[in-house]
């Protein structure tokens, strides 16, 4: 076993991760890294957000993004996948939007907070129309599984 994952293994790792870090670019080129929930379908990463959010505006302005998932506390347990690629706002495929929404609901059932318990301003923010970001990774996938460094070769 090597330190790196195959493309299929990398996407399985991303799909299994609870939270990822989406990096998009401000107008002045400064990267902004934000933790987000995601789902993976057909080797693409999908992230939902309020349609008026700055992350949606940044992706509309500049589609270059990166995405990172990681886990492990001890060095031997560290594992992660980092992809770069292009993102777009999906607003032309209602079937895909519904499929992603269904998968997101399934994956994160029980994790979302009770909206009724939120302050009115917070609830209002999250009840506004939503948009969906589709990340199409390029071939530059960086991955690591430190435990593989110590696995026996057969």
- The string of pLDDT tens digits covering residues 130-144 is 899 999 999 999 999
What's the mean pLDDT in 147-154?
72
Q: What is the pLDDT, as a whole number, of residue 75? A: 92
Torsion angle, alpha carbons of 85, 86, 87, 92, to 10: -130
Please say whether the beta carbons of 67 and 22 come within 8 A. yes
pLDDT tens digits for range 32-85? 999 999 999 999 999 999 999 999 999 999 999 999 999 999 999 999 999 999
What the chain holds in terms of domains, given with CATH numbers, is 7-148 (2.30.110.10)
């Amino acid at each position: 076993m090597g330190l790196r994952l195959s493309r299929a293994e990398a996407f399985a790792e991303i799909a299994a991760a609870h939270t990822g870090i989406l990096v998009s670019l401000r107008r002045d080129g400064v990267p902004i890294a934000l933790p987000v929930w995601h789902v993976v379908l057909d080797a693409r990463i999908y992230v939902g957000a309020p349609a008026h959010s700055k992350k949606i505006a940044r992706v509309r302005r500049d589609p270059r993004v990166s995405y990172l998932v990681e886990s492990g506390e001890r060095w031997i347990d560290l594992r992660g996948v980092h992809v770069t690629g292009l993102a777009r706002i999906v607003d032309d495929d209602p079937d895909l939007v519904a499929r992603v929404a269904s998968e997101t609901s399934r994956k994160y059932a029980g994790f979302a907070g009770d909206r009724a318990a939120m302050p009115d301003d917070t609830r209002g923010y999250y009840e506004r129309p939503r948009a969906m970001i589709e990340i199409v990774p390029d071939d530059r996938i960086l991955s690591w599984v430190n435990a593989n460094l110590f696995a026996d070769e057969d």
